Amino acid sequence: KTKAGAESLVLLLGVVCFGAGLSANLRLSPVAVCFLMGLVIGNLPGVDRGMLGETLSKIERPIYLLFLLVVGAVWDVRDATGWVLMLIFVISRFAGKWVGTLVGARVESYSLEPAVRRSLVVAPMGALSLAVVVNAQILYPGGWISWVVTAVVAGAVITEIIGQRTT
């Protein structure tokens, strides 16, 4: 079983690296191409989805930490405009989630307890938003993209800190 797990890990990482490299070489979005490849691999007949999920859960955290290393490498911390944009982004994100939970509370089928609503409002951002802005930075370097990268990366850090403090 270990051999099959190791082989599936090597195959999975090889397919993802091939897809990301090929898409970047063709000036396509590596995030979108790898997403589509994941859909295809996950829906292939004969694929042991249990072993695939187990393999992905084992490598998720190390890959996420490597991804954060790449994000830190492309992030220009000195970008003052991005920090102002980050404040607007974080405030509007919290306000939008707060309004959404209030509207949902008025509809009986979406009504949640106050503690659950609060946890939804302060939930941290996922890795997909970071992946999208890094992808945009790689595909379209320069210009105002660096502002957006600063806003999203710093916003992710701030929302993570706020989420940890309030829960």
Q: State how far the alpha carbon of 65 is from the alpha carbons of 39, 69, 95, 120, 129, in Å.
A: 23, 6, 29, 24, 15
pLDDT surpasses 50 at 1? no
**Inter-residue contact 39 to 103 (CB < 8 Å):** no
pLDDT surpasses 70 at 4? no
Cα–Cα distance between 90 and 146 in angstroms, integer? 17
Higher pLDDT, 139 or 167: 139
Q: What is the CA radius of gyration of the chain?
A: 19
pLDDT at 19: 84
33-61 pLDDT, tens digit each:
888 888 887 787 876 777 777 777 888 78
pLDDT at 5: 67
pLDDT surpasses 80 at 17? yes
Cα–Cα distance between 63 and 36 in angstroms, integer? 19
Structure pTM? Answer: 0.71
Q: Name 167's Cβ contacts closer than 8 Å, sequence gap at least 6.
A: 119, 122
67-124 pLDDT, tens digit each:
888 888 878 888 889 899 999 999 999 999 999 888 888 887 777 888 888 888 888 8
Cα–Cα distance between 112 and 118 in angstroms, integer? 10
Higher pLDDT, 83 or 64: 83
pLDDT at 86: 92
**Inter-residue contact 150 to 86 (CB < 8 Å):** yes
pLDDT surpasses 50 at 66? yes
pLDDT at 87: 94
